[in-house]
Amino acid sequence: MTIVIVGLFAIFVAFVCLARRNLGPRRKKGTLIKTIVVLGPGGHSREMVEILKLLDRTRHVFSFIRPSGSTSGVFEDVSAFKLYGSGGNSHPWTAVRTVPSPHLSGKFPVRGIATLVYSFLRSIFVISSLNADLVISNGPGIAVPVLLATRIVNLLLARKTKTIYIESMCRVDTLSKSGRILRPFVDKFVVLWPNLAKYKGTTYLGSMIHTPY
């Protein structure tokens, strides 16, 4: 176990060293906002399409993080919406990256923890290499390692990447597991139902999206 921990720490340090080569200049006033969109399976991606319709696409250039090995309904909805680049135009920064979905429940908790650790390390590498201005997520499992990794990269590399977490429309009375974990660590935590405004640090915006299920 000690060897495994030391090995993971060594990998983490290597990621940080590589990331320092990608610091680059920060965004200048008037330039496009480099925005990472975290996608989840099924309804999460459909909700995200509705959320992204509210953004001014002439001001953003998008990259995406999706779960590894997931193909159905995760990226098709967003790519069909032509969110690549500014106003649907291609841009050199745009990319699609994958991160393993963390699973802590089930019959094999050790395997689940190993997946979570790998997912977190992979997220650190992806976040550090993309060097975004903004990361947006609406609640899938991979939001946890990705947004926590963003916080860590900000601290280690003195970056100022902002994070927005939007709780899923299906969460009416209680926060999701992802939401409970991430609420203290994101810059803006948005809820879409008044019952969720009771949680400290949340911002209630009402029914800002309409998702046809």
Cβ atoms of residues 161 and 153 within 8 Å: yes
* Pure H helices in 53-197: 76-80, 109-130, 143-157, 177-182
Averaged pLDDT for residues 132-136: 95
Looking at residue 86, its pLDDT comes to 47
Cβ atoms of residues 31 and 61 within 8 Å: no
**Is residue 23's pLDDT more than 70?**
no
Averaged pLDDT for residues 169-185: 89
Looking at residue 4, its pLDDT comes to 45
| CA angle 182–189–179, rounded 5-degree value | 35
**Is residue 113's pLDDT more than 70?**
yes
Interior/surface letters 164-174, b for 16+ CB within 10 angstroms, e for the rest:
bbbbbbebeee
Looking at residue 139, its pLDDT comes to 80
- Give me 194's structure tokens: 């008044």
Summary mean pLDDT of the chain: 77
- The domain spans of the chain are 32-204
Is the domain covering 32-204 a CATH 3.40.50.2000 domain? yes
Q: With cut-offs at 50, 70 and 90, classify the pLDDT of residue 25.
A: very low
Instruction: State what percent of residues in the chain have pLDDT above 70.
Output: 66
**Is residue 197's pLDDT more than 70?**
yes
pLDDT tens digits for range 146-155? 999 999 999 9
Cβ atoms of residues 150 and 130 within 8 Å: no
pLDDT tens digits for range 75-98? 555 555 555 444 555 555 678 898
pTM over 0.85: no
